[in-house]
């Protein structure tokens, strides 16, 4: 995946992905768009949507407390082929990561240039 233009997403699956996997990707993207449409038409408030809360980690889902207006099942298995966990599931280990922040706010963790300078004088 890449973001070649602000506000866009480009997905280039590899040749090793079979048709079934590509179909699942398309179904997932269609489901995400349906969640967006629910917010756009006012059916769901964005702040209370599964879309805004995603991704849901295993720790979040297994916690004793669940204060979301949607079910744990909706959060854990949003895709049609994952109904009640009947297929394999990828469990993210973290919630959202703001990758765009890092792209827009570069932080250099390199040592200063003086660390790389030699004590040897260079003659011209």
Average pLDDT on 74-103 reads 68
- Report phi then psi at 101, rounded to 5: -60, -45
What pLDDT sits at residue 124? 58
Question: What does the DSSP assignment read for 18-69?
Answer: -HHHHHHHHHHHHHHHHHHHHHHTTSS-GGGSHHHHPSPPHHHHHSS----S
pLDDT digits (tens, 9 = 90+) for 33-74: 988 999 999 998 998 898 888 888 888 888 899 999 988 888
What pLDDT sits at residue 97? 66
What pLDDT sits at residue 37? 93
Average pLDDT, the chain: 80
- CA 116 to CA 104: how far, in whole Å? 27
Whether 84 shows a pLDDT value over 60: the answer reads: no
pTM here is: 0.60
Angle, CA of 42, 7 and 3, to the nearest 5° = 135
């Amino acid at each position: 995946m890449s973001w070649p233009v602000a506000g866009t997403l480009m997905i280039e699956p590899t040749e090793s992905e079979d048709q079934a996997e590509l179909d699942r990707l398309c179904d997932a993207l269609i489901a995400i768009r349906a969640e967006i449409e629910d917010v756009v038409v006012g059916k769901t408030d964005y702040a209370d949507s599964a879309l805004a809360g995603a991704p849901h980690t295993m720790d979040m889902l297994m916690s004793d407390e669940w204060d979301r207006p949607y079910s744990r099942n909706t959060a854990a298995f949003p895709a049609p082929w994952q109904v009640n966990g009947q297929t394999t599931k990828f469990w993210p280990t973290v919630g959202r990561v703001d990758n765009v922040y890092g792209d827009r706010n570069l932080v250099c963790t390199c040592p200063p240039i003086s660390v790389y300078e030699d004590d040897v004088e260079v003659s011209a």
